[in-house]
Amino acid sequence: MGGHGALTLYLKHPGLYKSVSAFAPIANPSRCPWGEKAFKGYLGDDVDEWKKHDATELTQHEASLAWRARD
C-alpha cells in the first residue's frame, strides 16, 4: 500500500487508527491525469464514485474530520 492508500483507510475508518503518515502521496488523484486514468480503469467514469476513494475529498466530510489535530 502506498501513502494514498494509508490516508484513505485512515479517513474512512475514524477511530480505528491512532495516526497516519504518508511520504509524498498522490493526495488528490481525481484531479490529476495519473489519478483520472487509474480511477477510470478501476471505477469507471463516475466522478462521484472516485470521490469516495480520494483522500482530499474524504477530508471534506464531517465523518472524516478525526484527522484534524486536537488539543
User: How do residues 21-48 score in pLDDT, each as one tens digit?
Assistant: 899 888 799 999 999 999 999 999 999 9
Task: Kindly report the pTM of this predicted structure.
Answer: 0.77
The domain of 39 spans 34-66
Reference 56, options 64, 66, 46, 44; nearest CA is: 64
Residue 27 forms part of a structural domain: no
Residue 54 forms part of a structural domain: yes
Residue 10 forms part of a structural domain: no
Give just the sign of the alpha carbon dihedral 31, 51, 12, 63.
positive
Instruction: Compare 69 and 19 and report the one with higher pLDDT.
Output: 19
From residue 64, give the alpha-carbon distance in Å to each of 7, 12, 13, 42.
11, 7, 8, 23
Q: What domain count does the chain have? A: 1
Q: How long is the chain?
A: 71
